[in-house]
Amino acid sequence: MPRSILDEAHVHPAIRGKVAGLHADIVREVQDAIAANAVVVVGLAGNPHVAKARRVLDAAGIAHRDLQYGNYLGQWRRRNALKLWTGWPTFPMVFVKGVLVGGAADLEKLAASGELERMLA
């Protein structure tokens, strides 16, 4: 089921550039990391769920690229661009082979079921 996104035809032409370019640099940085690494964890400082995702990967011996954007009080506007891009509401955002698999709890389930290893094979 595709998620609902405001169609460009419903965005006034005068603001389309602003909408498209809003914090595009952070989205490009994550896209580049996803293209170059099998596993990417996107998070923020001080978030225990981000640390949990990293521990799951470390315990499984899986190399991962970590991207960190600010903390709870800083860079939240920039992180919103990632939430809008992915549709995922929380951090971490974990990508495996270019696929958003969810957050720490979702990653933990994939690891426990063996699916994470299959995705990386």
Residue 2 covered by a domain: no
CATH of residue 16? 3.40.30.10
pTM: 0.93
Is 72 a member of any domain?
yes
> Does residue 81 contact residue 23 with C-beta atoms inside 8 Å?
yes
3 within a domain of the structure (yes/no): no
Q: What is the pLDDT of residue 3?
A: 86
Residues 11-60 pLDDT 10s = 999 999 999 999 999 999 999 999 999 999 999 999 999 999 999 999 99
What are the residue ranges of helices labelled H in the chain?
16-21, 24-36, 48-59, 76-86, 104-113, 115-120
Instruction: Report if residue 53 sits inside a domain.
Output: yes
The answer to whether residue 94 sits within a structural domain is yes
Q: What's the number of domains the chain is made of?
A: 1
1 pLDDT exceeds 80? Answer: no
Q: Which amino acid is at 120?
A: L
Is there a domain that residue 108 lies in?
A: yes
Domain that includes residue 106, residue range: 8-120
